Structures are given as structure tokens and as C-alpha cells.
């Protein structure tokens, strides 16, 4: 693995898409819980600020990991769910979860 690899490898691209304190948690949550409205999602994730949740969601929508679906009405309703691409990360996150759960036993 040389210089070029570090800059252009898939791992870097993937990590860039996942950069953000809560992104993997959000993805994992959506993977298991399905579609969620913004505020419900916000309440489901302790400690996260609305601002950061919003930023993370927008970036993930931009990376095609998450789909934003707007339901017309008042009060406004917006739902977020994983895209096909986002769902592809499910197994990876699951593997990480498993790793974190069992690695202390080694």
C-alpha cells in the first residue's frame, strides 16, 4: 500500500462518508428500526444535538446513504431511511458491534 492507495483507496472514501461522531450509530439505528421522522430520531439518540443530527443527516443524504422523504402537511413531516447503499453498510456495522461485544473476552 503506497502513497496513492492511502489517498484514493476505498477505505478512505468509506471513512469519509462515516466521519462524524454519530453517523455509524444513526445508520445502525435506521438499519434496525427503519424509517424515522426527524424529531423521533432525535429523541431516540441521547445526547446528540439537533444541529449535529441535522448536519449528519444532510451529509449522509448527500452521500446517498440516507433518503429524505418529505410528506406534505402541517406540521411538516420528514422521514429519513436508509438507501440501498446505506443498507449495504448494515452487515459491516453489525460486524463492528459484534467485535465490540466480544473483543474484551479474548
Partner DNA sequence: CAGAATCCATTTTGATACTG
Partner DNA sequence: CAGTATCAAAATGGATTCTG
Binding site for its own copies (CB under 8 A): 1-3, 6-7, 9-15, 17, 24-25, 28-29, 32-33, 44-46, 64, 84-85, 88-89, 91-93, 95-104, 106
How far is CA 53 from each of CA 6, 26, 101, rounded to the nearest angstrom? 29, 9, 25
Cβ atoms of 68 and 35 closer than 8 Å: no
Cβ distance to DNA smaller for residue 74 or 99: 74
Cβ atoms of 30 and 66 closer than 8 Å: yes
Cβ distance to DNA smaller for residue 47 or 105: 47
Cell of residue 98, nine digits? 459484534
Report 50-89 residues binding DNA (CB under 7 A).
Answer: 50-52, 54-58, 68, 70, 75-79
Amino acid at each position: 500500500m503506497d502513497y496513492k492507495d492511502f489517498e484514493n483507496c476505498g477505505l478512505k472514501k468509506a471513512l469519509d462518508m462515516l466521519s462524524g461522531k454519530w453517523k455509524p450509530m444513526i445508520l445502525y439505528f435506521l438499519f434496525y428500526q427503519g424509517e424515522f421522522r426527524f424529531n423521533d430520531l432525535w429523541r431516540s439518540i441521547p445526547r446528540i444535538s439537533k444541529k449535529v443530527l441535522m448536519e449528519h443527516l444532510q451529509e449522509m443524504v448527500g452521500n446517498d446513504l440516507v433518503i429524505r422523504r418529505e410528506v406534505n402537511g402541517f406540521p411538516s413531516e420528514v422521514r429519513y431511511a436508509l438507501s440501498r447503499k446505506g443498507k449495504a453498510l448494515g452487515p459491516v456495522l453489525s460486524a463492528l458491534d459484534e467485535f465490540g461485544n466480544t473483543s474484551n473476552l479474548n
